[in-house]
Amino acid sequence: MHGYRVETTVSSQGSLIIKGLPFQAGDKVEVIIRRHKHGERKNTCYPLRGKPIRYADPFGSVGEEDWETLR
């Protein structure tokens, strides 16, 4: 099963309009609607997700002093 996620806002009439779905006409789909809490932190289990990564010396050797053959 392929998933598709979209966030939208309920109109004043209480309806939702979702355009551009990646499904073919006639496909059966399951619709689950949940309220999005404002200020809710996403991915609290993975606090480093989305943070910038910096490599100090990406091509430098690692643990060179641990190799007995180099001594």
pLDDT digits (tens, 9 = 90+) for 3-57: 788 888 889 999 998 888 888 899 998 888 888 776 555 657 888 888 898 888 8
pLDDT per residue as tens digits for the range 1-12? 677 888 888 899
pTM above 0.75, yes or no: no
Nearest to 30 by CA among 54, 55, 10, 2: 2
